[in-house]
Each structure stands twice: as C-alpha cells, then as structure tokens.
Chains A and B, each alone.
Chain A
C-alpha cells in the first residue's frame, strides 16, 4: 500500500476550562492528522495549549467539541474505563519527570501496563525483559529508580512505554529533566525507535529538540500556526 495509514485524525478540537468564573480557551479549532511511522514534534511556548493537546492525544482528557480518531476509533466520547483501556493498549507515555514508581524495580515498573492489560505473569516478565533489553538496561532490571541515573530512569520509562507495543509513543518533554548529553542520548534512542517503525509524538518547547523530528506542528494561543516537514 502506497497510501500511508492514518493513525490519528483530529477535527475541530476545542477544549475550554472555567477558572474562577472566566472561560479559558485552551484549544480552539485544532485539526491535523498523523500517519503510522511519523515522528512529529508539537512545539509551543508555555500556555500555548500544548499540554492540553497532549492530554487529549493521550486520552487523559476529553475535548468539549470536535472529534478524535485514534487507530480507527473515535475516542472523544468514551467512558473513563474505555479510555483507560485505550491508554493501556494504544499509547506509550514518556514523561518529563520519568514518573516511575519509586518502590518498584525497573522490571516491575515496565511490567505495570502489562499487569493492567491482564498479561499472565511469565509472559509479562518476558515482554518486560525484552523491552528493557531494547533500551540497553538488561543489566539493571532489578534496580529501583533511585539507584539509576536520570538517563537510565528515562530509558526505563521508554521501556515501559514500549512494553505493551502500543501504536503511538507520546513523549512530553522527555529531555526536560536531563543534561544535554543524556538528553541527546534519549533523542538518539527516539530516532532509533522511529526508524524501527514506532510512531512518535514529541511535545516540547525547545526548538533544537523539535528540529530533530521529521515534522513540526507549532501551536500558539490554542491554535496551530504552522505544520511543516523538517528538511533532513
């Protein structure tokens, strides 16, 4: 098939909040589509609505208006439990602050989404192990997050996102809490994963990071102001 397969399609998305009696428009009429295998950076200054957009894309929040198709399914109107299932199966989250559970070992952290999916123990450990090996942490599976460096922790988080083999990886400022050298390592890993066929959506405010993606969507005041491919 020469036509690229559609992974995400957003049309006329709006999200507003009421804060102290005033209506704040976080997203106004946002529309775009992302195909399988893309590496997209969504960039914008703080307050631009990119966090709201990331919550929508990650099915952590639902829009007030507009439609959101993910992997062929309309997810904008689903119940909380159905959304949890979508998050579990379709989305791999990578957060700025890693968001690992401090009391669990690396392996147990990676197993967590598989536990909620109901994967039986033995198979689960196997999947988690291979995921950790993929990010180069095969040797440190039984360490707790506190015993790992920032870069290693983020790699555990990436392994956790990869473990369930979701169609899309959603990374929110993945290098934000890392020094530039480690940040570069993580970005290299992202690029590697993309070259292996994973779809990646990267949310950032850093232009240098955004430049490394194949496509950049620029957002400001709740609207998309630019959407273009990066020259290689």
Chain B
C-alpha cells in the first residue's frame, strides 16, 4: 500500500466523522494559534525595541555620571576633552533637569536638557522648523530653546512656536526651532522636552556637572575599544569608584532588551506549547476510541491481506493528517489573530515564517507521537480476534 492510498483512506475516514474530527483537531488548532499569535506579539516587541535602539545608532556609547559624593564632578569642559580620545567622532554632553515652562497662562513642568550642537548628529534628532542650536549659542550663553512637539502643543496649542518666547523658571527664552516627532522610547517621551544650550542650562539649573555624555565613535567596529579607553579615563577621574559612572554601548542595551523580550517570548511559547501537548493527548484519546470502534474493520482488512505495517500506517497517517490539518487551521487563526491584535491594540506584531514552520512541524510531530500508541494497538490486533468482535 503506498502513501497516496493511505492518505486517501485517512482523508475519507476523517471526512466521515466531521464533527468528531473537528473537535479532535480543536486542541491542536487552539495550541498552534496560541503559539503563533503569542510568539508574533513577543517577536514584534523584540523587533520594536531593536529598531528603537538601532535607530539611535550602533556606534553610540552612553556615559552616565552619578558623581562622587555630594557633587557631580564632571564639568561640561572636562567632558568635551573626551573628543580627543582616538576613535571618537563626536561628544554630546547633556545636563538634565526639570523646570516650569510658561507661555502666558499656560504652564507646565517639563524636562529640560542642556545640550551642544553635536546633539543633533549624535542623537540623530533634528528640527522640523527653525534652526538647531549653534556653537555661538553655547559660547555666548544665548537664551534660545528648541521645543518638542508635545510640549509645543501643550504651551502653544496649534500655533507655530518658532520665534515665540517661553518663560523657563521665570527667565525668558526664545524658541528657535521645533523638534521633529520621535515618539516614545524606553526612556520616556522624546517629544515632551525643551533643549537649551548647555552653558545656559548650567546657570538655569545651577548645576555645573553633566549627567550624561553621548559619544559617537568613528565606526561601529571600534566601539569596544573606545569604550574601554573611556572607562580607563573615567576610572582615573573618579579614583576607582566604579559606582560614580556607568558606560554602556548600544550593544549592551540591545542585548539587555532582547534578552528580556526573548525570555518573555519563550515563556509565552512554553504556555502555548503545553496547550499543543494537551491537544495531542486529545488526538490520542480519540484515536484509541476509533481503534476499538473499528476493530472489525481492522479484522476484515487483515483477513484480506493487510499487513501489520499497512494498519499501522493507516492509523498513524490518520492522526498525522488530523494534527496537520489542525496545524494549518491553527496557523490561519494565529496569523489572523496576530493581525487583529496589532490592529486593535496598536502593538507591533511580527509573524515570522520560522514560527509558522516550527508550529506546523511540531503539530505533525505530535500527530506522530500521539498516534503511535493507538496505531500500534490496531496493528497488533490478531485477525481472528478482531473478526469475532461486533
């Protein structure tokens, strides 16, 4: 008996018992659909995070200064000296703080960043209207500001803020540029902030130390080298107090983020995999019932010349076809469910072929594994015993 014949027989027997076959498959359908939609959501999250981190540039090193003792002890001028380190293309020190921003009666507390013109290229953050900060603004402590879209909306409504004045902690700043929309990253919203010259920020915030330094290297290849060189310099500066600073590159951030989200994906896949397993047990159960129901049929088949192997193949293929069919339906529902989730929740969902293939292969394997016991039971029946039963 060849495979095509066996498939035909299996298909016939599945079609004869449509309701039962469907209910049997349901376990696999739900399992596969769950695996695919959950893994898609997980992978979508991973992809989103990766994209965000990579959007910041792969040749970026971030230094955070926590400081030694009560005072932060890395000034703007000192931080700019890192530009001399070999392999460094640009240095962008940042001083953060919160101020109250006012325009007429509209006021709100916003986060403020004191920056240098390098910020634009290092952070890849541009203005959509007006101009970016210039070296001149830094040198002459100009009271000019760039405004994020969300802040602009809150303070100015639909008006174009460029050229307007804004009061920051009572000091008047002129808005020279409206930043492009960036959306949120893990650090919070990029659109709800105001950027001013770092020298002005030192005065406004009464703070001489920078909190973060973004360093762009000449290429992604020498990130590790530059990083260790910077660490050595910082170590010297803070006299070996490693808690005073932290240096990490995008690679570190990426691996942290992806390990979190891939752990999440694995957990989701594990839960969904268990439901697949339960589906497999359902198939085994029904196949066992089917074997005892069809004992006479097995007897007849054996009497007219079916070998053990023929009966084994027949029942095994039946369970594999059941599982495979459930798998295909599950894939359809899973992929559809994934796109529904992304439509209604706005989550990024990415369905990869590898998940679909793995889920389908897994369901076929379940068909084989859980089909073996019933098929073997059928194949082992002795024809005279089988013919005697009604």
Number of residues on chain A facing chain B (CB within 8 A):
25
A118 touches B305 (CB 8 A): no
Q: Find A81's partner among B1, B301, B309 (CB 8 Å cutoff).
A: B309
Task: List which A101-126 residues lie within 8 A (CB) of chain B.
Answer: 101, 103, 112-113, 115-118
CB-CB contacts of B287-313 with A at 8 A, as 1s and 0s? Answer: 000000000110111111111111000
Interface pair A116/B13, CB less than 8 Å apart: no
User: Chain B interface: which of A28-36, A83-91, A189-197?
Assistant: A83-91
- With an 8 A cutoff between CB atoms, is B387 at the interface? yes
**Could you tell me the distance between the alpha carbons of A55 and B302 in the complex, rounded to whole angstroms?**
13
Residues of A within 8 A of B296 (CB): 99
Are A116 and B1 in contact (CB-based, < 8 A)? yes
- A222 contacts the other chain (Cβ, under 8 Å)? no
Q: A115 near B1 (CB under 8 angstroms)?
A: yes
Q: How large is the interface on B (under 10, 10 to 19, 20 to 34, 35 or more residues)?
A: 20 to 34
On whether the beta carbons of B303 and A116 are closer than 8 Å, the reply is no
Q: Check: A58 CB closer than 8 A to any chain B CB.
A: yes
Docked complex Cα distance between A61 and B16 (Å): 32
A103 to B296, CA, bound (A): 13
- CB < 8 Å neighbour of A88 from B2, B12, B305, B387: B305
For residue B345, CB closer than 8 A to chain A, the reply is: no
Q: Are B305 and A85 in contact (CB under 8 A)?
A: yes
CB of A93 within 8 A of CB of B297, answer no
Contacts of B307 in A (CB 8 A): 80-81, 84-85, 116
Alpha-carbon separation in the docked complex, A112 to B299 (Å): 13
The answer to whether A116 touches B306, judged by C-beta atoms less than 8 angstroms apart, is yes
Q: In the complex, which residues of chain A have a beta carbon less than 8 angstroms from the beta carbon of B5?
A: 115
Expressed in whole angstroms, the Cα–Cα distance for A195 and B301 within the complex equals 29
Main secondary structure of the interface of A (DSSP, over half): helix
- For residue B300, which residue of chain A has the nearest CB? A99
Q: Is the CB of B13 within 8 A of A84?
A: no
Residue B384 CB within 8 A of the other chain: yes
| Residue B161 lies at the interface, judged by CB distance under 8 Å to chain A | no
Does A160 contact B1, Cβ atoms closer than 8 Å? no
User: Cβ of B279 < 8 Å from any Cβ of A?
Assistant: no
Query: Is B383 in the interface zone, CB < 8 Å from A?
Result: yes
Tell me which of B1, B13, B304, B306 contacts A93 (CB under 8 A): B304
Report the minimal beta-carbon distance from A94 to chain B, rounded to whole angstroms: 11
A61: chain B residues within 8 A (beta carbon): 384
Q: Decide if A148 is an interface residue (CB 8 Å cutoff).
A: no
Q: Which residues of A contact B16 (CB under 8 A)?
A: 103
Find A84's partner among B305, B384, B387 (CB 8 Å cutoff). Answer: B305
Q: Tell me which residues from 11 to 37 in chain B have a Cβ below 8 Å from any Cβ of chain A.
A: 12-13, 16
The docked-state distance in angstroms from the alpha carbon of A58 to that of B5 is 26
Binding site for B on A (CB under 8 A): 55, 58, 60-61, 80-81, 84-85, 87-89, 93, 95, 99-101, 103, 112-113, 115-118, 160, 164
12 contacts between A and B (CB under 8 A): A60-B387, A80-B308, A81-B307, A81-B308, A84-B306, A99-B300, A103-B13, A103-B16, A112-B304, A116-B304, A117-B305, A118-B1
| With A58-B303, A118-B1 already in contact, 15 other A-B pairs whose C-beta atoms are closer than 8 Å | A60-B303, A60-B384, A84-B308, A87-B303, A87-B304, A88-B304, A93-B304, A99-B299, A99-B300, A101-B297, A101-B301, A113-B305, A116-B1, A116-B310, A164-B305
